[in-house]
Structure 1
């Protein structure tokens, strides 16, 4: 097929549509499902400079699936309002070297989206010491949405549920009904 044939324009239009779909869906979704080798993990992320950036694998941070620098992953994006799957796309995995310009740029974006960080302004230094920052760069190919529900067993954690709620809490929340009269 030559560049000036009608089919080439359709391919270009489809590729541009896929690129726009991946970018917009991933930007708007607060959570993506990433599958490397083996299991999928739900990860919070930021869209930065044409890729989804994630941080994890350190104390107090999200566990990342088995993703190797130079490897590949499959990213499934959900709808922010309905929660249903919108698009799946293939990604190249790039691990950013701590303190590099690319790392600094990605961490500046990630830092603004990290909720409930225990160390505030010291967070980037901790990430440089103890965590991995990855860029999941789209390859340009969208994939068919996976079949099934993608349910996985919960990740093992030391987190526990607090003690049962005190008996007075329901009364405080819902109030006592006035039974006079």
Structure 2
């Protein structure tokens, strides 16, 4: 978990989502909301399941997590938010501005702490857990390529 940059987070009743995260204080911190990644239901969920994968895509560990929302103005926010913002890739402006934007826009900073033993042995599924890709509004039908000459078939 110490090297995690992306985790698959599954909120009960929803699909597993690949989310950018920061390992800190024995937990994973995830930011979602306006201008950040979308994590439907995570901010209001009391629990989730977290799956971490290795460099080659294979699952390393899956564990239950207790979800706690860190609110602006609290001591937890003042200590965690700047550290999470410092790890944010492609952030525009200084870290203090990013933290202030998260607080002003109502972004959720969630702490996912281990809440039990990781899955092992009989608790691991036999199947691959691969799913059909979900539809997105950016997907379009591709056109057939333009041909300059007639293709002969034999």
TM-score by length of 1: 0.65
Q: Which runs of at least 4 in structure 1 moved beyond 6 Å after TM superposition?
A: none
How far off is 1:140 after superposition?
Answer: 2.5
Cα RMSD for the two superposed structures: 2.4
Give the gaps of 5 or more residues in structure 2: 139-154
Residue equivalent to 2:78: 104
Distance 1:97 1:157, change over 3 A: farther
Q: How does 1:6-155 map to 2 (within 5 A)?
A: 26-37=1-12, 38-59=14-35, 61-69=36-44, 71-79=46-54, 81-121=55-95, 122-130=97-105, 131-143=107-119, 144-146=123-125, 147-151=127-131, 153-154=133-134
Q: Distance in 2 between matches of 1:51 and 1:35?
A: 16
Give the gaps of 5 or more residues in structure 1: 1-25, 159-181
Structure with the higher fraction of residues in helix conformation:
1
How far off is 1:89 after superposition?
Answer: 0.2
Q: Which has the larger radius of gyration?
A: 1
In the comparison of the two structures, how many residue pairs are matched?
Answer: 133
